[in-house]
Amino acid sequence: MQPRSILSAALALAFLTPPQAGAETVADFYHGKTITLTVGSSAGGGYDLHARVLAKYLGRHLPGTPAIVVKNSPGAGGLALVNALYATLARDGTELATFDRGITLDPLFGGAQAKFDPLKLSWIGSADNDASTCLAWHTAPVKTMEDVLRQSLIVGSTGATAIANTFPRVLNAVLGAKFVIIPGYPGAADALIAMERGETQGFCSLGFATLEALRPDWVRDHKVNVFVQLALQKRPDHPEVPLALDYAKTEADRQAIALIVSPNLFARPFAAPPGLPGERLAALRKAFDETVRDGDYLAEATARALHIELVTGAELETVLRKIYATPSDVVARVKAAVN
């Protein structure tokens, strides 16, 4: 074919081919859609409350202003939910989840039921950076951390990977504490009811703010004794309660406790499945950050006694990468305690 014929054919093809539609924007995608935010525990607990308050305001900060609906999927502390988030839930930005922070450590400890890689999840951020606690019902013989190093305290637990289970197990193994762990409660709210009924004597994963939000009368009427903080640093408003780290006798003990409490650095994590389109992940992270700074959101969170401290998705990823770089001997010790 001669050059003029080639040019003529090309021009003809150009006129015959319809112009390509513009690429779909984030706003185009989310317009008219609904995002499902699934909570990996029963209704009425701290994760559920954080999710429901966030859901009221997140959509207004997302392009296209999608609706946000919250549902609960309790079971194994949320492990089943995280496995589904990783493998089967839609990877288009319409599925989000929040779950027990301790689940992020399960693959590190070789959990047989953990079918996910936390470093590959699409982390949106955390609404809090908090200290967990161990507390005892006011009629229990245990009043202090020194007491539980000498005598037993029956504590309720949720899933095997949840911090309500792993915290007391590691304190038993590392410090010689005498927690007796009763597993199987669907969520913190159920475990607290069990303590009130006398089925158990304590609980080992509740933060100060969550206790005040869920059971303000317990705080007001001194129905529980909060006797130790499970964090890397004390909450500034509770300097009187010692850290579990304060009871470590060796550097190896400190490293083991620091590893198990490190997920408190992202106390209320929110994530999406892996492989999320980059522009939608960026939009979700931006919307999350804006929501956690939103005056209306903060006012409602304060009214509900929620402790709010933004941890961005990028910061959460950085913390996780540091956790997964923990020396193998420390991991092995904590793994033996947890399992």
Q: Which of these ranges, 4-13, 32-41, 192-201, has the smallest mean pLDDT?
A: 4-13
User: Sorting pLDDT into bands at 50, 70 and 90, what band is 5?
Assistant: very low
Q: Express each pLDDT in 34-56 by its tens digit.
A: 999 999 999 988 999 999 999 99
| H or E element in which residue 68 lies | strand 67-72
Q: Express each pLDDT in 133-181 by its tens digit.
A: 999 999 999 999 999 999 999 999 987 778 999 999 999 999 999 999 9
Per-residue exposure over 50-59, b if at least 16 CB sit within 10 Å of its own CB, e if not: bbbbbbebbb
CA distance 131 to 85: 26
Q: How far is Cα of residue 115 from the mean position of the Cα atoms in its chain?
A: 17
Find the DSSP H helices in 183-245.
Answer: 188-197, 208-214, 216-220
pTM of the complete model: 0.85
Count of Cβ atoms closer than 10 Å to residue 266 Cβ:
26
CA distances in angstroms from 30 to 62, 64, 71, listed in the order given? 8, 5, 19
CA distance 166 to 259: 11
* Diameter of the chain measured on Cα atoms: 98
SS (H, E, C) 100-148: CHHHHHCCCCCCCCCCCCCCCCEEEEECCCCCEEEEEECCCCCCCHHHH
What are the backbone dihedrals phi and psi of residue 252, each rounded to the nearest 5 degrees, phi first? Answer: -65, -40
Q: Which domains does the chain have, with CATH numbers?
A: 28-128+265-338 (3.40.190.150), 132-263 (3.40.190.10)
Task: Tell me what percent of the chain is helix, strand and coil, each rounded to the nearest 5.
Answer: 45, 15, 35
Per-residue exposure over 299-322, b if at least 16 CB sit within 10 Å of its own CB, e if not: ebbeeebbbbebbbbebbbebbee
Q: Express each pLDDT in 65-98 by its tens digit.
A: 999 999 999 877 689 999 999 999 999 999 999 9
Closest CA to 320 of 71, 163, 122: 122
